[in-house]
Amino acid sequence: MKLLSILFIFVSSYSFCLAAPATDKVNDLPGLTFTPDFFHYSGYLRAWTDKYLHYWLTESSRAPTQDPLVLWLNGGPGCSSLDGLIEELGPFHVKDFGNSIYYNEYAWNKFANVLFLESPAGVGYSYSTNFNLTVSDDEVSLHNYMALLDFLSKFPEYKGRDFWITGESYAGVYIPTLAVRILNDKKNFPNFKGVAIGNGALNFPNNYNTMVPFYYYHALVRDDLYNDIARNCCNNNIGTCDIYSKFFDPNCRDKVINALDGTNELNMYNLYDVCYYNPTTNLKKAFIERQMRIAVGLPARKHNAATTVPLCAQTNNTHVYLNRADVRKSLHIPSSLPAWEECSDQVGKNYVVTHFNVIPEFQTMIAAGIKILVYNGDVDTACNSIMNQQFLTSLNLTVLGEQEKVNEAWHYSGQTGTAVAGFQTKFAGNVDFLTVRGSGHFVPEDKPKESQQMIFNFINNKDYSTPIQL
């Protein structure tokens, strides 16, 4: 009996060594106001000989040994996925000026093991040993892929698990380019099921082409200016106009800029949000706006204290919390690394865009038969819903369902009843397009209940209106 007990202890210890790395386990996250019913891990994954990407894994609180693995990527390019964890879909949300963490009841790790990856090197806690932060779209997809292979070596229990890639904004490029690499590696990812892209930059030039009509039909542009652009820059047809090119046309540049200045006193990520932001900071909203302006040769918008003073308190909670020395220690972050930033100007300035649209990658994913969800908050002007509807239309996929309906409503069902959550279009090829009503660019932040139900039903192959049953 004693021999059997010793053998059992040995086998158990050996099995543990083959599972999650104990050195990366987070045991004492400062500021917690609740006791997590799940394990979580923070550490580094080797993405290249000189690139190390920080990850934070929040295991499922339901069935961690059975539930799928979901990767989350924020965009930028150059913004940290820890924003997604702390401000959007993760279980840990920060309050009290970075002093305490409360539980997000709409966290996605209620039904999935969610891996947050800070990518590329130079973003957040991720780093490069040679300090070279110049990187391209294809290099990012390669580094993310290599980091995932390292993750599977650290967490072999996830090898063969159902796997999904999700994210938002410029992850509209990160995700499809990574998905193609994953599809070519059936050995390590035999159960790659699909992707979900929120407010993605799927066709960068067309984002600008659709912004002017989007602004006009949200009453941000006067008739005379809109008609002036249509008549003198677009041959009286803004619907098919290459407005992106007009930024470089001296006869039209000022007209287009005047139209897009319609959000100068608004939050361009959510037209109806009352939380303004200082466009000169490195917080994600200001950073992404600067990147968009740089792309068409516009200077950064200046801070106007009269209109951009935040009306919602504690906008820098995440930044304060993640730069606490005790938090960094708990997350196993080397003290030699610089302060954590939501977005990296150095990465943004050195980033090389090579995929201005991701049609080839979508065609590869569709041919492979994996599930694809494109969703958009419908009052986001940074990556607007018209752009992504037109992107999917350009794929020439057959629309499924009742053809006479422009879009079909989907509903959120909660304790207070059922309400329209947005609208949906289903295409042949396992492709779905959803809008999220009243949401801006960051859907899990603006509409946490609806986004949780949407993702749960997507990965469980259920109708989007089905109430969550855990």
Residues marked as catalytic: 169, 380, 441
**C-alpha dihedral sign at 87, 326, 32, 45:** positive
DSSP secondary structure, 128-164, as one string: ETT----EEHHHHHHHHHHHHHHHHHH-GGGTTS-EE
The structure tokens 């159960």 sit at: 191
Other Cβ atoms less than 10 A from the Cβ of 36: the count is: 17
Angle (CA) 110 111 113, round 5°: 90
| Residues 300 and 279 sit within 8 Å (Cβ to Cβ) | yes
**323-350: b or e for each residue (b if 16 or more CB lie within 10 Å)?**
beeebbebbbbeeeeeebbbbbeebbeb
> Which two tokens mark 265?
């006193």
Q: Is 308 helix (H, G, I), strand (E, B) or coil?
A: helix
> Which two tokens mark 422?
């947005």
- Look up residue 262 and give its DSSP letter: G
> Which two tokens mark 227?
């008609």
**352-365: b or e for each residue (b if 16 or more CB lie within 10 Å)?**
eeebebbeebbebb
- Look up residue 357 and give its DSSP letter: B
